[in-house]
Chains A and B, each alone.
Chain A
Amino acid sequence: MSRTIPARRGRPAAAPLPQRKTSLSLRLKRISRAWQLYVLLAPAIIYVLVFKYWPMYGVQIAFKNYNPVDGFTDSPWVGLTHFIRFVNSYQFGQVVGNTLWIAVLGLLLAFPIPIILALLVNQLQSERFKKFTQTVLYSPAFISTVVVVGIMFVVLSPRSGLVNNAIQLGGGEPIFFMGSADWFRPIYVISDVWQNAGFSMIVYLAALAAIDPALHDAAKVDGASKLQRIRHIDLPGIMPVVTILFILAIGNLLNVGFEKALLMQTPLNLSSSEIIQTYVYHAGLQQAQFSYSAAIGLFNSLLNLALLLVFNTIARRANQATLW
């Protein structure tokens, strides 16, 4: 645009918009005036309708016997048959148990570590060392999950892997980590921390940077030690962010890391690596039991939603930040 826009400040607001009870014609006029905005929004809307809401509509097949000819709508209803079958199947306990195990372990370890790292990095004196630490710690987040799991396979390999070489050097017996059901959970969680802790740390660092430095100065004048300042200034300062991220983590509790679990699966560790989502993948896409696995997926989503609602309510009761 060649014309210059006068950047005037403090312009009086245009005539105040009439609140509520606007006449239909006025509303239509306002909508038609914004048609260009709707055009801009249209691709995104079409996207959610097609790839989010259409699948949601399709979830009804969890209560039907889906067949491709009849599609989502016309397949015959069968009620809760698929849910009952899942709950009664011999995998039910194992699959749900594995999912909860991984989710809870991951939450207990992977959630607090980035906070601790951020508090420590924030206290560093040297700007340069601070920046270096940040860069190094979050670099693994840019390595793909496939490659991270690939690294695990080569580094933990029973014959030539780094870890087993070290174990043998110390006189121990080599361990077949990736083929062992007992080792699946620790490896999964540790590698998760290794890959993602640095990246999650950044959000907390940003929140720490937003804390009013005057608070720290005042505390210093009063003779507060670094630990005291972390406890009484930094931690309360980032608490809203912590709460929101925690609620979000809870809301995604049963979905996290499904791709990695799938990649880490070997026939030998299946008894602890088969989680709800991988089970859905195997039963649904590999064995084409669409309705059955859609029911299991729905079970998973609803469980997730319930967790989210519960924790959001708890946070609200505790007067903390909430999602809505």
Chain B
Amino acid sequence: MSLTTNPRTTVNPNRPLSQVRPKPSLRDKYGDRAFNIAATTVLLLSILAVVYPLYFIVIASISDPNAVYEGKVWLFPSGVTTEGYERIFADSRIWNGLGNTVIYTVLGTAVSVSTILCGAYALSRKDMPGRKILMLLFVITMFFDGGLITKYLVVRDLGMLDTVWAVVLPGAVGVWNLIIARSFFEHTIPNELREAAQMDGATDFKFFFKMVLPLSKPLIMLMIMVHVVAQWNSFFDALIFLNDDSKYPLQLVLRNILIQSDVSSTGTTGGDIESYAAAQRIAELTKYAMIVVSSLPLMIALPFMQKHFTKGAMIGAVK
């Protein structure tokens, strides 16, 4: 299967044939209809199961916290308030985390994508001596790794703890992505093109940068998006390698607030139980708003990214 295959023509072949097809017997027709109904129902229920929690969080984030607390919010927000959002945008930790995440994401994506593209191209060249052994060097790491502790010690010995590099470098090259990129190059860059370029005196560098990369835009887009999403969402490397909380990425800040319920800065003033309970509810409201705010960028980008991810899955499936 090539990348350029239009899925529409392969997936939905029955239309032009429908005139030729003999009429199905009644029983089969009902059987198929029952199947269609069952399939559609199952899928609609799955869609509902995916969407409703997200929808609920959105309406809860703009509802009066007391109404949410009493279980009055189901389909529509009640007593609309923007207090949750105001509190988030007033919280310096969020802004700081967001800034760090942007830095880590840009830097991490740049490092990963350039390393993977260059490396995968070299590995895709059948005329590179030692290609098989070098490939094996990468593949082995998919099945065995040294584990968390030794990785931590290596990063520590390199003096990277508490630096940007600890977040950017240790996970930079995913072997799976390398394989996807390599098979893309193998399938899309014809050997004749390279030979022709070499005939014209192009070096490997020149050919790679001037011909291969411009021809590989779908792959580059896919790689950029995979890494942007991954870096944006990652927290674990930051958790183990960073101590200085001014360097925390957004996800780690979110973890501390959302999961560890660190509500210190959401303002628990006053000593009496009632105002404490009210503060608790507002803290909950802030959590809903925080979930919305942190997921929104990727959700908005999703329709634009979908095409590329589907393609990526296809390259992966072809292997």
Interchain CA distance A241-B252 in the complex, whole Å: 36
Which of the 9-residue segments B102-110, B264-272, B292-300 touches chain A?
A: B292-300
Q: B251-295 vs A: 1/0 string, CB under 8 Å?
A: 110110011010000000000000000000100100110110011
Q: Does B184 reach chain A (CB closer than 8 Å)?
A: no
Which of B127, B129, B147 is A280 in contact with, Cβ under 8 Å? B147
Q: Does B75 reach chain A (CB closer than 8 Å)?
A: no
Assess the B25–A223 pair: CB atoms within 8 A.
yes
**Given known contacts A51-B169, A55-B154, A168-B71, A150 and B200 CB-to-CB distance under 8 angstroms:** no
Which of the 9-residue segments A89-97, A101-109, A129-137 touches chain B?
A: A129-137
Interchain CA distance A7-B251 in the complex, whole Å: 49
Which of B21, B51, B119 is A40 in contact with, Cβ under 8 Å? B119
Q: What A residues does B288 contact at CB under 8 A?
A: 154
Instruction: Name the prevailing secondary structure of the B interface residues.
Output: helix
Assess the A37–B125 pair: CB atoms within 8 A.
yes
Number of A interface residues in the complex (CB < 8 A): 114
Assess the A160–B118 pair: CB atoms within 8 A.
no
From A6, A47, A290, residue with most partner B Cβ within 10 Å: A47
Assess the B35–A30 pair: CB atoms within 8 A.
no
Which of B8, B50, B118 is A139 in contact with, Cβ under 8 Å? B50
Which of A44, A58, A305 is B143 in contact with, Cβ under 8 Å? A305
Assess the B317–A7 pair: CB atoms within 8 A.
no
Q: What B residues does A140 contact at CB under 8 A?
A: 50, 54
Q: B32-52 vs A: 1/0 string, CB under 8 Å?
A: 100110011011001101110
**Given known contacts A37-B128, A136-B50, A280-B147, A146 and B195 CB-to-CB distance under 8 angstroms:** no
Q: Which residue of A lies closest to B22 (CB)?
A: A221
Assess the B291–A135 pair: CB atoms within 8 A.
no
Assess the A226–B32 pair: CB atoms within 8 A.
yes
Shortest C-beta distance, A305 to chain B (Å), equals 6
Shortest C-beta distance, A275 to chain B (Å), equals 13
Q: Does B246 reach chain A (CB closer than 8 Å)?
A: no
Mark out the residues of chain A between 94 and 138 whose CB falls within 8 Å of any chain B CB in the assembled complex: 117, 120-125, 127, 133-138
Q: What B residues does A293 contact at CB under 8 A?
A: 148-149
Q: Does B178 reach chain A (CB closer than 8 Å)?
A: yes
Assess the B295–A40 pair: CB atoms within 8 A.
no
Q: Does B141 reach chain A (CB closer than 8 Å)?
A: yes
Shortest C-beta distance, B313 to chain A (Å), equals 4
Q: What A residues does B258 contact at CB under 8 A?
A: 146-147, 149-150, 153-154
Mark out the residues of chain A between 289 and 304 whose CB falls within 8 Å of any chain B CB in the assembled complex: 290, 293-294, 297-298, 300-301
Q: Does B19 reach chain A (CB closer than 8 Å)?
A: no
Q: Does A15 reach chain B (CB closer than 8 Å)?
A: no
Q: Does B196 reach chain A (CB closer than 8 Å)?
A: yes
Interchain CA distance A164-B122 in the complex, whole Å: 56
Assess the A153–B259 pair: CB atoms within 8 A.
yes
Shortest C-beta distance, A290 to chain B (Å), equals 6
Q: What B residues does A3 contact at CB under 8 A?
A: 200
Q: Does A176 reach chain B (CB closer than 8 Å)?
A: no
Interchain CA distance A211-B6 in the complex, whole Å: 13
From A61, A66, A139, A146, residue with most partner B Cβ within 10 Å: A146
Assess the A198–B50 pair: CB atoms within 8 A.
yes
From B204, B210, B252, residue with most partner A Cβ within 10 Å: B204
Q: Which residue of B lies closest to A132 (CB)?
A: B47
From B36, B150, B192, B313, residue with most partner A Cβ within 10 Å: B150
Q: What B residues does A151 contact at CB under 8 A?
A: 53, 57, 291
Q: What A residues does B56 contact at CB under 8 A?
A: 155, 162
Mark out the residues of chain B between 142 and 157 whose CB falls within 8 Å of any chain A CB in the assembled complex: 143-154, 157
Q: Does B80 reach chain A (CB closer than 8 Å)?
A: no
Q: Which residue of A lies closest to B257 (CB)?
A: A150
Mark out the residues of chain B between 228 and 263 whose CB falls within 8 Å of any chain A CB in the assembled complex: 229, 232-236, 240, 251-252, 254-255, 258-259, 261
Shortest C-beta distance, A57 to chain B (Å), equals 8
Assess the B233–A30 pair: CB atoms within 8 A.
no
Q: Which residue of A lies closest to B256 (CB)?
A: A146
Assess the A55–B310 pair: CB atoms within 8 A.
no
Assess the A120–B147 pair: CB atoms within 8 A.
no
Shortest C-beta distance, B292 to chain A (Å), equals 10
Shortest C-beta distance, B100 to chain A (Å), equals 14
Interchain CA distance A241-B319 in the complex, whole Å: 10
Assess the A284–B173 pair: CB atoms within 8 A.
no
Assess the B298–A142 pair: CB atoms within 8 A.
yes
Q: Which residue of B lies closest to A178 (CB)?
A: B259
Q: What B residues does A71 contact at CB under 8 A?
A: 157
Assess the B43–A37 pair: CB atoms within 8 A.
no
**Which residues does B use to contact A, with CB under 8 Å?**
1, 5, 7-8, 10-14, 17, 21-22, 24-25, 28, 31-32, 35-36, 39-40, 42-43, 46-47, 49-51, 53-54, 56-57, 60, 68-69, 71, 114-116, 118-119, 121-123, 125, 127-130, 134, 137-138, 141, 143-154, 157-158, 169-173, 178, 192-193, 195-197, 200, 202-206, 208, 210-211, 229, 232-236, 240, 251-252, 254-255, 258-259, 261, 281, 284, 287-288, 290-291, 294-295, 298-299, 302-303, 306, 309-310, 313-314, 316-319
Question: Could you pull out 23 A-B pairs where Cβ atoms are within 8 angstroms?
Answer: A1-B202, A5-B197, A36-B205, A37-B125, A41-B119, A43-B119, A44-B138, A44-B173, A50-B158, A55-B151, A56-B145, A59-B146, A72-B150, A137-B47, A144-B233, A144-B295, A205-B310, A210-B10, A213-B13, A217-B13, A227-B35, A293-B149, A297-B149
